[in-house]
Structure 1
């Protein structure tokens, strides 16, 4: 619309005596002053809002293929049955933990003959109370135990080193330099912090969080940082190379680093990140294995301890064996796990199937994911081989990798099926922002203050309409605020 046409349109609206926002305010004045929604703490209010805006769904298209976990299958089966978890929750947790530990022991040959890191990025979406912590704790128990022991010792060594440097006299020998920080796990990140962690620490690390909203809605993934963060994480996944020049911070040049991740998050906390075109454009989500299990059925009281599972005890023993191995300075020089002839043929058939389905078949709507599926299958097979101490991927492990990659692809296709209607995502993003602020805000200011994805007027108005229809917002004299949030209980 031209500027003249816009002016005419505004004059006509004035003659009618009401603008869109006036109509909104008038409608809100007729609403009851008190929300029909009982106030809930913020996290629960967001989960309820998600259910109202877009009825709960799950990305699954069938049972999680536990048998495809190979050497991890029995431990995953015991964890799922004993803790009454979705098999996908147990499987993702153990597979991601295995990738964290084996990525510093080997690399993997992919179908095109190139060598890739044995790193995996995993995303698991599940409702509150469905066992994210319950699965994650046993999976990472040996790693946390290792850090509890190695971390304080390293900190004490660092303090002694600094004291020795400060107290030495002229002519004294320089204190022996310290080794790298031993930490393998972090629950949040910024790219600058990640670079520093790799400069100061070991070459193989992980981002593992059972409250992944800290990551996906935190500083690193805010609108102004999101593309940069995603592109850097993609680069580490692809090449294991960090390179940056920053004023005041000097140059960072680090080869042979490895990063695995497992983000566990509630559907209500996703906001618009799954449908963000910038993340799809840089190939961020297509590098992730997605599990979105159905909500749990009511559970029975059944006391169970992970220590009672022989399979989990064996898994922990394997983890401790891997943790005891010397950490290389540069993981690019590690041995390469190769595909044997049978595995190559199987992966070739999988590749051709993904190519056809992604370009001409039923998976065209998730084509970026199909084009990554074969590499993911090779990485998964390599992780399973390395965890079992095997140097070659045979056809059985190739089948395991392909089955798990295909299952994740099915989850992505189901999860993104509603992408044609972006309004629930916009509404969810706006509600989260309003609910977090607490105080009402002027509707006219949303185009300047709200998250970038809902600043355009058309998106703002569509989001407001959906929130109104669900009874999630109240409007008064041009202001809008979230309903159903008890901030005193947060």
Structure 2
């Protein structure tokens, strides 16, 4: 290889790996959790996990508990207080250990209800058997006769009425259901349910999110978030529509799963991703000495007692259809004024080039998210609360602002990651397939088998990244490359000694 011109700097450290760095996020505003704060800090003290993980669990559990009782007033009208939460953390971050203490009272309640229902289920099974036997007898008699007997059979069937309904099951959560499974949950069990999983990859990689089902799943989950009726086909049963159902979601996923989900155009284009409160806290792994573990059993007992009290309160619903009939939780005048000011601030931030211009989906829902969080905190304190107070709205705006900042940070990281991916593909092609010691932007555009680099701005961005990391050295303007003077060209560094 020809000696390099003297103007080219020497890099003794050699080429550096291309790193997908994610800027550190803001500290979680735990002080804004209000009535949930003590339990969250108790779980964090036990696990030494990032506080954002138990905070997300507490918000989701509280949302699940109270969502059937009231819809909250927002700037766009009444909305459910249902929250969709996505927590991103690597394996070993103690996601399950954070979730379990906050779900313990719910799991205990479900077990107790299942045991208590044994006699009720046995009575229903007997009643159903009698009903079915009588129906079969009427149908058999109708088959044997004609005319008047068939008319009489029709009248007997009408008098017999519908089959006795099975008692609803006590289960409030499902880990990774198909949409058909979720509809059956609503039809046969509870009208207020949750999609909760500390292994959210099972949902994203499961039947509901398979390519042929994904659009229908996202549409149905969007409808549930908005409180709209859910309409979906149930195989041989035809199309089924359910009214007055509520869904809370908390999915804990590893970073790789989250990246794939967040990069899926369908998740963004359908508006599904922007409905989530997303957080990826910095890891605490390697910094969790047992000497720092602390317990606060009283705080966890108080949280469990409040959760049980809410679960034991009868949901407002129609007895026949079990359609929820939540009341309206209004905002106080001051709380509404605060929410309006927050909405205006976020709206201004969506202007071209402003801080939220690349996350307009999340930003446009930030004010509604704040109202939903305020509704959850208010109802957790008191199911009969007459309105959302200003102090609670202030806390909710702080939390919604944090989650919006996380969405912004992670979107920035995704953009950086995409650029790094392009540069890495270019690096491999240059080292493995390009025969010359130099490269120009025009040659990248014309020759590199990378569709994303077919335009000069993208090619120059990738070349700049490789130069920054020491894989390329920019030649002086006018350097001769393959018999021609080049305005822009780069020397390829194939090994450290070539620098």
TM-score between both structures, scaled by the size of structure 2 = 0.70
Instruction: Provide the secondary structure at the position in 2 that maps to 1:192.
Output: helix
Checking the alignment, whether the CA contact within 8 Å between 1:117 and 1:240 is kept in structure 2 is no
* Structure-2 change in CA distance of 1:96 and 1:67 (3 Å): same
The match for 1:100 is 64
The match for 1:300 is 289
* Structure-2 change in CA distance of 1:56 and 1:378 (3 Å): same
Checking the alignment, whether the CA contact within 8 Å between 2:68 and 2:324 is kept in structure 1 is no
Instruction: Provide the secondary structure at the position in 1 that maps to 2:75.
Output: coil
- Whole-angstrom distance in 1 between the partners of 2:421 and 2:63: 32
The match for 1:411 is 406
The match for 1:188 is 176
* Structure-2 change in CA distance of 1:269 and 1:153 (3 Å): same
TM-score between both structures, scaled by the size of structure 1 = 0.71
Structure 1 residue 301: Cα displacement? 1.6
75-84 vs 165-174, greater mean Cα deviation: 165-174
Structure 1 residue 267: Cα displacement? 0.8
* Structure-2 change in CA distance of 1:252 and 1:176 (3 Å): closer
* Structure-2 change in CA distance of 1:459 and 1:139 (3 Å): farther
Instruction: Provide the secondary structure at the position in 2 that maps to 1:248.
Output: helix
Structure 1 residue 333: Cα displacement? 2.5
206-215 vs 180-189, greater mean Cα deviation: 180-189
Checking the alignment, whether the CA contact within 8 Å between 1:423 and 1:459 is kept in structure 2 is no
The match for 1:366 is 359
The match for 1:162 is 125
* Structure-2 change in CA distance of 1:310 and 1:53 (3 Å): farther
1:136 aligned onto 2:99: yes
* Structure-2 change in CA distance of 1:288 and 1:206 (3 Å): same
Structure 1 residue 170: Cα displacement? 4.4
Max Rg structure: 2
Q: Which blocks of at least 5 consecutive residues in structure 1 are unaligned? A: 1-51, 429-456, 470-490
Structure 1 residue 207: Cα displacement? 0.6
Q: 2:375 aligns with which of 362, 374, 382?
A: 382
Structure 1 residue 179: Cα displacement? 2.5
**CA displacement 1:336-360 (0-9 Å, x = unmatched):** 1111111011101100011110134
Checking the alignment, whether the CA contact within 8 Å between 2:88 and 2:280 is kept in structure 1 is yes
- Whole-angstrom distance in 1 between the partners of 2:181 and 2:205: 17
**CA displacement 1:60-90 (0-9 Å, x = unmatched):** 5211000111111122122212321211111
* Structure-2 change in CA distance of 1:170 and 1:368 (3 Å): closer
* Structure-2 change in CA distance of 1:265 and 1:252 (3 Å): same
Instruction: Provide the secondary structure at the position in 2 that maps to 1:365.
Output: coil
The match for 2:439 is none
Instruction: Provide the secondary structure at the position in 1 that maps to 2:369.
Output: helix
Instruction: Provide the secondary structure at the position in 1 that maps to 2:329.
Output: strand
- Whole-angstrom distance in 1 between the partners of 2:451 and 2:313: 53
Q: 1:334 aligns with which of 308, 318, 326?
A: 326
Q: Which blocks of at least 5 consecutive residues in structure 2 are unaligned? A: 1-16, 138-159, 425-448, 455-461, 467-499
Instruction: Provide the secondary structure at the position in 2 that maps to 1:202.
Output: coil
Instruction: Provide the secondary structure at the position in 2 that maps to 1:179.
Output: coil
**CA displacement 1:88-116 (0-9 Å, x = unmatched):** 1111111110000000121101023x111
Checking the alignment, whether the CA contact within 8 Å between 2:196 and 2:251 is kept in structure 1 is yes
Checking the alignment, whether the CA contact within 8 Å between 1:351 and 1:374 is kept in structure 2 is yes
- Whole-angstrom distance in 2 between the partners of 1:247 and 1:264: 30
**CA displacement 1:292-346 (0-9 Å, x = unmatched):** 110104211249686x432221111110100101133356522211111110111
1:66 aligned onto 2:30: yes
Q: 2:338 aligns with which of 324, 343, 346?
A: 346
- Whole-angstrom distance in 1 between the partners of 2:128 and 2:101: 41
Instruction: Provide the secondary structure at the position in 2 that maps to 1:339.
Output: coil
1:422 aligned onto 2:425: no
Q: 1:290 aligns with which of 255, 261, 278?
A: 278
The match for 1:3 is none
Structure 1 residue 184: Cα displacement? 0.1
Give the number of equivalent residue pairs.
382
1:213 aligned onto 2:218: no
Runs of 4+ off more than 6 Å: 171-175, 423-428, 459-462
Checking the alignment, whether the CA contact within 8 Å between 1:272 and 1:426 is kept in structure 2 is no
- Whole-angstrom distance in 2 between the partners of 1:271 and 1:265: 10
1:317 aligned onto 2:281: no
- Whole-angstrom distance in 1 between the partners of 2:262 and 2:171: 30
Structure 1 residue 180: Cα displacement? 1.7
1:357 aligned onto 2:349: yes
142-151 vs 116-125, greater mean Cα deviation: 142-151
Instruction: Provide the secondary structure at the position in 1 that maps to 2:282.
Output: coil
345-354 vs 162-171, greater mean Cα deviation: 162-171
Instruction: Provide the secondary structure at the position in 2 that maps to 1:177.
Output: coil
The match for 1:81 is 45
Structure 1 residue 248: Cα displacement? 1.6
The match for 1:29 is none
Q: What are the residue-to-residue correspondences of 1:472-487 with 2, within 5 Å?
A: none
- Whole-angstrom distance in 1 between the partners of 2:58 and 2:419: 35
